[in-house]
Amino acid sequence: MASKSLSSDHGAVTAEFMLLLPALMMLFATVLGSVVFATDRIALEVKGFEAARSLALGLDIRAEEGIEIEKSLEGALICAKITKQSAMPMSTKLCVMQVGQ
């Protein structure tokens, strides 16, 4: 009789795995997307700092493809607003003191 109860459980692990697989794939995609977003955000902050520093030193700045840079003055500070157009648009604004002020 014991073998009959074991044969009725045949494939139960496979069925549970197939029910769990879509949730695991969605979790993996979410984690991977979060890492990519965080990496893009950090890269945008670095570009913003470089742009603000270059503007403060009086150097010309060039925007890469898909990135817009706006210059503004706020008192003794010079600011660079960086906007990246992608699937999820991001922007950051960094200000530094002008050299010689």
For the stretch 48-95, pLDDT in tens is: 999 999 988 888 888 888 889 999 998 889 999 999 988 888 999 999
Q: For residue 25, what are the CA distances in angstroms to 13, 52, 61, 68?
A: 18, 40, 42, 35
What per-residue confidence (pLDDT) applies to 1?
46
**At CA 67, angle to CA 62 and CA 72, rounded to 5?**
70
Q: Which secondary-structure segment (H or E) carries 97?
A: strand 90-97
pTM for the model stands at 0.70
| In contact, 80 and 51? CB cutoff 8 Å | yes
Handedness of CA 98, 75, 47, 85 (dihedral sign): negative
What per-residue confidence (pLDDT) applies to 4?
54
For the stretch 5-31, pLDDT in tens is: 556 677 788 888 889 999 999 999 999
* Mean pLDDT for all residues in the chain: 86
